[in-house]
Amino acid sequence: MSSTSVFETASSASSDKSHGKFFPVAPKTVKELGVSSNTVVNLILKLIMLEGETSLSRVSQRLKIEAAVTGEVFGYLRKEQYVEVKGMVGNDYVVALSGQGRSVAQERYRVNQYVGPVPVTLDAYTAAVRQQAARHKINRKRLKEVFHDLVIPDDMLDQLGPAIMSNSQIFLYGSTGNGKTSIAERLVRVFKDEIYVPYAVEVDGQIINVHDSVVHHPLKPVDGVDSRWIRCTRPCIAVGGEMVSEMLELRFEETLGYYTAPLQMKANNGLFIIDDFGRQMINPRDLLNRWIVPLDRGVDFLSLRTGVKMPVPFETLVVFSTNLDPRQLADAAFLRRIQNKVKVDAITPEIFDAILQRVCEHEKIPWSPQHSAFIRERCKKGSQSPVLRACYPRDIVLILKNIAEYDERAPRLHPEDIDRAITLYFAR
C-alpha cells in the first residue's frame, strides 16, 4: 500500500511562539502532523483491527488527533475500500475493517504493535526541548522555600544557588548520612513551571515511546493544544545502584516492534539524579566517558538497531550524589566538566539539635535542649566517632516510636528509651 502520494508531509509540528514558550498548536490536517502519512494510516488501521468496530471520535481520542485529521484519513481509507461504515451514532461514523483492510492491518501489526498517540518528529521534539530549557531565578529566600522541610545552613544554600542557576551539572559529595539524597530529591521543587512532553517520537520510520506515567505527571490540558503532547510538571528521575548501561540507550522491544526512550531522554527539561554514584553496576568511568559529549555539548547520540545514529537533546540538570572521593571516581578532565561541586559535610551540634527538634515536633514528642545534648552524646558513643550525621535524629526518633508502640505507650525522649534505641541503631 502506498499512501504517501495522497497526503503531503510537513517537516515539523507547529507551535505558537506568541506565548513566549513552547505551545504546540493542534494540527488541523495530516500535513500539519509532520510525520509520514503512512504512519497515521497504519495506526488507524491497527486500532480499528484491535477494536473490531469503533467510532471516528474514538479514533481521534486514542490517537490524540483532531476530528478533521481523522476525517481526512477516513476519506482515504474509504476510497481505498479498507474500511466499511457499520452505522452512525449521532453524526459519528461507526466503522470496521474490510477484508482487504484487515489483511493490511495484520501485516502492519506484525511489524510494529504500537497503537497509541500519533508520534511527533525528532525535529519537533528537539525544538521543543530547546525552547523549554529551564531558566531559574534563585536566591537564598527561594531556596529556603525549596528546602523548607530540611535544616540546611546558609553557607550551603549559597553554594547550591549558583550551582542550580548554571543549569549545568552538580556533584554532591561527602560522608554518608548527611542529606545528599534528600537535597538532590528536593531540587525538583525549584521548577515551578510546566512543560510539554510527546507521547512518542518518530525517527527514520521507527517509533520511540517517550512518555512514562511514573515520570511525567500530567496537568490539566489547555484548549487548542496538540494532544500528542502531554502537559506535565518537569520530570525527576532518580537511579541508584540498580542502574546499568542499557538504561542509557534506546531499548528495542522485540515482541512489540518499537523503542523505549532511555532515562536521560525521559528526564529532558527536568532533573536526573544518580544516587550513590560509584556503586552502580556500570563502571563509573564508563558512565562518565559515555556522557562526556552530552554533558559538554548538550547533545546525546542514540543508535537505532538499523545502524542509524540520531542526535537527541541532552537538556537535563544532572546531579551526581556520592559518599566516595570524587578523585577516585573520575579523572581531572571529567571533573573539570562538572563545574559545580558541593560538599555535604558532617553537621554541627546546633544543626543536630534543630533537626531533632523539628522531627520531635512533627511526631508530637516533647523535646528540650537537654534531650538533644543527651542524644548527641549517646550517638557519639554508639558510633565511636565524634562526627554527627544528619540522619541520626530522624532514625533514632523512628526507633523510639517503635519502642513505644511495642510497650503500648506514647513515645518519649527518656534516657532508658534512648539507650535502647542507640543499642538497636549502632552495630557493636
For residue 232, what is its C-alpha cell?
506535565
What the chain holds in terms of domains, given with CATH numbers, is 17-117 (1.10.10.10), 130-343 (3.40.50.300), 349-425 (1.10.8)
What pLDDT is attached to residue 5? 37
Sign of the alpha-carbon dihedral angle for 346, 351, 357, 358? negative
Q: CA-to-CA distance for 299 and 256, rounded, in angstroms?
A: 28
Q: Is 408 left (phi over 0), alpha (psi -120 to 50) or beta?
A: left
What pLDDT is attached to residue 374? 96
| Mean pLDDT of each 10-residue bin along the chain, 428 residues long | 41 45 93 95 96 95 96 95 92 94 95 96 96 87 93 92 86 90 92 94 95 95 95 94 90 94 96 88 82 88 92 94 82 78 92 96 94 95 92 96 96 95 90
What pLDDT is attached to residue 32? 96
Note the pTM of the prediction, 2 decimals.
0.87
- Upper half-sphere CA count for residue 87 (Cβ side, 13 Å): 4
What pLDDT is attached to residue 13? 45
What pLDDT is attached to residue 2? 41
What pLDDT is attached to residue 6? 44
